Every structure is written in C-alpha cells, then in structure tokens.
Structure 1
C-alpha cells in the first residue's frame, strides 16, 4: 500500500472503470493515485503503458481489482451497475457517476477533483475551457446562419445525440435536429423510429460516432430517401471518434467540441444559401 499523499488528501489508490476519470486525474496531475484503468482507455496514451488494465466496460477482473487494494473505484452510468454490484460485494468502495449534460460533466469533474484535493486546479481548467468556448461562440455569431446537424450515435437502430453531445453541437455553432430526443437519458429512448425522419429534418451536416465501429458515410448517403438531404448532396458527412466525444469528460469538452466547430465553420464558409433578390422600388 502506498503512503498517504498528505493529510486528509482523499483516496490514495483509485481504480477507474472508464476513460474520462483517468484522463481527468492525469490533467489534474493526480495520476499517481490511479492503480487500475479500463481496457478501453486511449486518453492519455501513456496511461495504457503506466497503469494495469483491469476492466472492460460492462465487466471487469474482480480478483485483479481486489488485489490492487483500491480505496475507491470510480465508474459511470447504470450500464456498470452489475459490475459495481460485484465490486461492492467484494468489499470495495464504489462511486458511480451518471452525468448526461455539459453541466453535469463539469459538476462531476469538480466532484472528482474535490475527492483528491485538486479543487483549485479544476477551477482553473474549467475557467480556461469556458473562455475558449466563449471564443468559439463569438466566431459562430459571424456565420450567415447556424447549420442544422444530425448526430448519429448508432446506425441500426438509429440513435441520435445524447444530451451532452447535443449541447456541444450548440456550443460549437450548430443546431441539433433532434433536440427533443437529446433530453432522453437512455439510448433506447433516443432511437429514431422512422428511418426517413432525419432526412425530413434536412440536416446541413451529418456527424457519426458509432461507438465500437467505424462510421461509414457512404452507407448513410445510400439510404433510401436520403439523396436530397443537404448534407448528403454537399458531401457533409463526417466521423468524430467515440473516444473524442462519447466519453462524458474532458475529451468531449475539448477535442469533441473543437472538431464539431471546425466542421461547422467549414460548412459556413462554403454553404449554399438562398439568393437574396432586391425588391423592385
């Protein structure tokens, strides 16, 4: 067991069952507390070299996790409830977060920072993020109009953007074409039942992030009834990798947001807008 980092300094040996907590602790300079990570972790890259991988997303190596003698295990969402139950029954302290909005992501980041005594560093990071986000909004105000955006989280069935992604679309300068579905916290409640409904909503930009497999824009463009969708007509179908936008933590707020903004800025620079004809005097 490692020696305490300082008086009342919080958990010393943390297992992170999802990537966003690992990335956040590294950003805070508290990576020495991490003793185990998810096998899906790619951010930061060095975490995979420095920390043992002890879990997938839905399950983990219980014996290996217990052997690490963690004083806290941190996971995410109801989807890890069964894994959390096993770890609790093994006698471990387990903390499960369930953030679904940008505000909840920031709140969770503050909470984790508080656990490790890094409140000041967290507030500095968040203030810098807010400043950069405000700068993106100022740029978008100069566009002729905001692009209409369809974000597809899965293809069969079609699942539209979760709340934080929908909000990031707005922060990046676009408008989600399914804002009503974004408010639903569960993926099954964000299924687009009518295959033609995304086409009817005429998105200018389509962004795919099919968690677990590569986005195939050519398959989307070939869907029956989608040929005249502005995004298809203008070849505005793009992928953002799930590790950059579907992790409810720093990656989505930074890389995910920046990638969305770049796509929308490029659209705004080349958008086909209706011609404005002067009226006769």
Structure 2
C-alpha cells in the first residue's frame, strides 16, 4: 500500500538512480530537482530542473526549491551534503557499492516515501529475473559450456576496471571478471591498471567497455600494443554497454545492465565459446 502523506514531499536527487527509482514507484511528483547527468528516465530531463553535477551543486538553486529531503551518493558528495545540512536541509547520502547494497538502498528510499510494499514487489521481480539468469547459466554449464573471462573497462585513459556491483553482475550474468580483486576497491584511483599488459596476461574472452560519459571505441582498444592475441580481440568480442545502464548503482544496473551482460555472455557461449570448447578446459561451478 502507498501512503502519499508519508515521507518527504519535495525531494532533490543529486544522482540518477534515486530519480529513476522514484519514477518507477510513481512518485515523480515529489521530485523538485535532479542531477544534470540524469538520462533515465528521459522525461525527467524535460520535467525537472537540473541543479547539480556529480562533484558540484548549485546550492542556492537547491535551497530556492525548498526541498524537505535531498538524496545523494558516495563520499564524493560529502561537501555538497555538508553545505545543505548547514542550511537546515535533511540529507541522506547512500554509499552502495555491491548488488545487495543497491537492493537495500532502493528499499530504504521506497520506505521513506511510503511505498515499502510496492518497492518490495518491484525488487522481488528483479530478484526473480536474476534467479532465471543463474538457472540458465547453470543449465548451460551442466551441458558442457564454460564461463567467459570478462574484462570490463570503466575508463580508457588510464584504464579503470569494473567497480564492485559491475563485477558481481558479470558473475550473476554468467561470466568471470578477470579483476575481481580490484572490484573490491571503492575508489576509481585504486582500480586503475598500472600495467595494461595485465589484461593480455589474463586473456579475456569478452571485453566490455562503458566509458563514463563518452562513446566506447573498440578499434582503439584492439589497437593497443600487444593486445592483438587477446582472445576477445582475436574473435572480435568487444562490446559497449552504455554507462547510464550499468554504472549507476540503482534500478538500471539491476535490470537493463545485467540483461545486456547476460545476452552478451549467452551469445559468446553460442559463438566463439562453443568453437573453443574442445580447445580449453571446461569450467564448472555455481552460477
């Protein structure tokens, strides 16, 4: 049951994921300001004033909107949060980094706006789709398929590897992140590859680019020195997932982002992966 009288009525969202979630909950009327980087849902850019970037915000404009709550994300927005708190605004800054933390954040936001039960139904539907993906991968593994090794690149210069929730979604979708140890590092600077040749040594079957804010250029990746013999480059398995679909820790990553990962992995299993079955050891394990 939804209680429209509960919770904040005038919300500013400093990042996209809470905006998208409030629209999915049918609570977009509560939103009075959004991030300038918001692209999901598309109508939000047409309907709501843009009052922040990621590292900066128009504090005076936010205050003029008379918000009774502001939602932010990560320690990188701590200074924005502090300025608003000093001005008397209630601020919640989430710091979700894992898939389970994303689920927890979404539930909390739903509860704050009186939509806990509706939020739970939407989240359970997402979990059901994830379970179906795991079951499909398990079925294929039992039939002799193997998981592709995946290199996910969040930025190209310098190369930055997958953040934790992306790494976990790769595993959920049926792949193996080749840099799982780096995914545990919350800061981008700690996921920078000091030696890009490490990608060559780890020999990914799939390369997926999601260069935040700009188009992925597979031909540039393929032309990197020494990368010509990487299986993904040799087989033409370089793909893009838009950053809005995978690099915002909210509904998009749990729905469209993981679905795209899953499709790419299944296509690889049906293509280059099938051709290579007799050439490399098969790998099992839980989905």
SS at match of 1:75: strand
> Which residue of 1 is the match for residue 95 of structure 2?
98
Q: Structure 2, unaligned stretches of length 5 or more?
A: 280-287
Q: 1:275 aligns with which of 274, 278, 281?
A: 278
> Which residue of 2 is the match for residue 70 of structure 1?
67
Give the CA RMSD over aligned residues. Answer: 1.3
Give the C-alpha shift of residue 257 in structure 1.
0.3
> Which residue of 1 is the match for residue 260 of structure 2?
259
> Which residue of 2 is the match for residue 213 of structure 1?
214
> Which residue of 2 is the match for residue 176 of structure 1?
177
TM alignment of 1:141-180, pairs within 5 A = 141=138, 142-143=140-141, 144-180=145-181
| Larger relative contact order (Cα-Cα within 8 Å, sequence gap ≥ 6) | 2
**More moved, 82-91 vs 174-183:** 82-91
TM-score, normalisation: structure 2: 0.92
Give the C-alpha shift of residue 91 in structure 1.
2.3
Q: Distance in 2 between matches of 1:41 and 1:225?
A: 37
> Which residue of 1 is the match for residue 14 of structure 2?
17
Q: Distance in 1 between matches of 2:19 and 2:258?
A: 20
Give the C-alpha shift of residue 74 in structure 1.
0.5
Give the C-alpha shift of residue 212 in structure 1.
1.7
Q: Distance in 1 between matches of 2:156 and 2:32?
A: 36
Q: Distance in 1 between matches of 2:196 and 2:129?
A: 37
TM-score, normalisation: structure 1: 0.94
Question: CA deviation digits over 1:171-226, x for unaligned, max 9?
Answer: 11101000111111111111111110011100000001111211111111011111
SS at match of 1:46: helix
Q: How many residues align?
A: 271
Q: Structure 1, unaligned stretches of length 5 or more?
A: 277-281
Check whether the contact 2:4–2:114 (CA below 8 A) recurs between aligned residues.
Answer: no
